[in-house]
Amino acid sequence: MGVVEDAYNVKVLGSGNTTVVLAHGFGTDQSVWRHLVPHLLDDYRVILFDHMGSGTTNPDLFDFERYSSLEGYALDVLAILVELQVESCIFVGHSLSSMAGLIACISRPDLFQKLVMITTSPRFLNDVDYSGGFEQEDIDQLFQAIQSNYKAWCSGFAPLVVGGDLNSVAVQEFSRTLFNIRPDIALRVVQTIFQCDLRHLLPRVTVPCHIIHSMKDMAVPVETSEYLHRHLGGESVVEVIPTEGHLPHLSAPEIVIPVILRHIEFDIAS
């Protein structure tokens, strides 16, 4: 196993001529794709990994400067693809990872056949003629809550973002992976996500983008998916699914998995 593979807990499964990369979002790890992976193994080569600071990665390797911007995550994606000698892939990213894939595909479009983007946003702060979903005061309160009592914040945040009661399997699973993140690392990642603004990069994206969004998502307004569709430089398509929550692939797999599989298999109709 290579240095990058080891550092990011990379797993390569399945068989097939087409490579699918599954990239998780904040608060989860590669286990979040457990409902999807079995459906891919017969037809695709599947690459899974954990972002630094998530899963069983070594928290001491988390570089606070590198991950102060989403470019750090994009560089990680490219490093994994290069080490595994991937010539082209279908990149499936959730939230943070969708934007990391977007940045990566601008510098190396040859490595990406398409992006499948699940509940993602180029900017979380509201702006003139732009609905990101949050005011600066909301975000400042979020940072303060994480710093004050991380465990209490996790307990309150998990059901809100997943969209379920405390006893649901999805909320329990997300709570587990979220709480496993070291608090100072979680704070930096949340700061990076909520302070990012990638709107200026969207016209530079030429790789086809498949945008999947929950009908109701407390983290990302559904209008954001249409904003992406209008401003991306290449072909794009939006599908709003009848689910609630920011992690529909975890909370409503029976609805979402067929949708993801369809967008992996079929290209955008010209």
Catalytic residues, by residue number, are 95, 217, 246
Scanning the structure block, which residue is given the tokens 């499948």? 116
CA angle (4, 5, 9) in 5-degree steps? 120
Element (H, E) at 62: none
Alpha-helical segments (H) within the chain: 3-7, 71-83, 96-107, 136-148, 150-162, 169-179, 183-194, 223-231, 248-251, 253-265
**CA-wise closest residue to 219 among 242, 198, 248:** 248
Q: How far apart are CA 90 and CA 84, in angstroms?
A: 14
